[in-house]
């Protein structure tokens, strides 16, 4: 996972990907968490790999006590500014690596968006075990998973981001999305993220021995590359990602 810090740092440096304000998409994601987790009243929420804190702040503003952890100092600085503007609930910002940081089992909800799959299956399984240990007995995790079918058929698609370029690839052996970014004036300098994708059946096998099980699957949206438009609602077999609600297995 040596690429992780360098890739996401370049996204911030080139495009400020994680340094923006809270917008409608973050509020929609916060409502997704509240709906899928069936939250009633105030909850203790942990967001992993929370970027600039935009989604964490949106969740806090629904009245919850949110802790977020993020690896990049520049993203954490953005999150600290956003946290000062939270007017309901609370937002605690932590700079750190969630593979190494320990938490007490105090969370009703743990969520992880965008970058599940950064490591190997063993890395994901280790993380899921840690998530299970941080949850209360009746707590749940909401995780966004890359959909194998979507990224396999998106390989080779290239797009102009307006000042930068992006091209999708797919590793059929490792079942990984390869997401390459570069500046048009300097194509030799490129940075890629590599995310393991899972079918729901693959995910069920990954969860074996982690202490977690799937309760619900909700499809995410998709991009129509012909018109370069994001379609918010898609059938599961067309979605680019899907969201799973995980709960602790009975002992």
pLDDT, one tens digit per residue, over 16-64 is 999 999 999 999 999 999 999 999 899 999 999 999 999 999 999 999 9
Predicted pLDDT of residue 2: 81
- Contact by Cβ (8 Å): 122, 95: no
176 has which bridge partners? 171, 196
Predicted pLDDT of residue 25: 95
Confidence bin at 131 (pLDDT 50/70/90):
very high
Do strands 158-160 and 165-171 pair parallel, antiparallel, or not at all (unpaired)? antiparallel
Give CA–CA dist 27/73, Å, rounded: 24
165-178 pLDDT, tens digit each:
999 999 999 999 99
Give this prediction's pTM.
Answer: 0.96
- Domain extent listing, the chain: 3-146+198-248
Predicted pLDDT of residue 127: 98
Q: Does residue 7 have a pLDDT over 90?
A: yes
Secondary-structure class of domain 3-146+198-248 per CATH: alpha beta
Q: Does residue 226 have a pLDDT over 90?
A: no
């Amino acid at each position: 996972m040596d690429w992780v810090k360098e890739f996401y740092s370049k996204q911030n440096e080139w495009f400020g990907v994680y340094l923006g304000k809270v917008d409608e998409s973050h509020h929609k994601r916060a409502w997704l968490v509240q709906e899928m987790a069936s939250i009633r009243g105030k909850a203790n929420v942990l967001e992993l790999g929370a970027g600039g804190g935009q989604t964490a702040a949106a969740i806090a503003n629904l009245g919850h006590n949110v802790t977020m952890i993020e690896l990049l100092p520049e993203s954490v600085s953005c999150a600290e500014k956003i946290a000062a503007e939270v007017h309901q609930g609370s937002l605690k910002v932590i700079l750190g690596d969630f593979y190494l940081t320990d938490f007490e089992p105090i969370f009703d909800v743990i969520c992880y968006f965008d970058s599940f799959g950064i490591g190997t299956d063993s890395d994901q399984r280790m993380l899921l075990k840690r998530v299970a240990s941080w949850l209360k007995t009746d707590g749940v995790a909401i995780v966004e998973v890359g959909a194998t079918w979507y990224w396999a058929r998106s390989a080779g698609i290239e797009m102009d981001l307006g000042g930068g370029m992006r091209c999708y690839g797919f590793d059929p052996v490792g079942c990984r999305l390869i997401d390459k970014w570069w500046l048009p004036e300097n194509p030799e300098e490129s940075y890629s993220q590599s995310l393991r994708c899972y079918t729901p059946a693959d995910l069920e096998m990954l969860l074996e021995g982690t202490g977690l099980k799937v309760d619900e699957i909700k499809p995410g949206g998709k991009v129509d590359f012909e018109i370069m438009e994001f379609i918010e609602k898609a059938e599961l077999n067309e979605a680019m990602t899907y969201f799973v609600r995980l709960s602790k297995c009975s002992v």
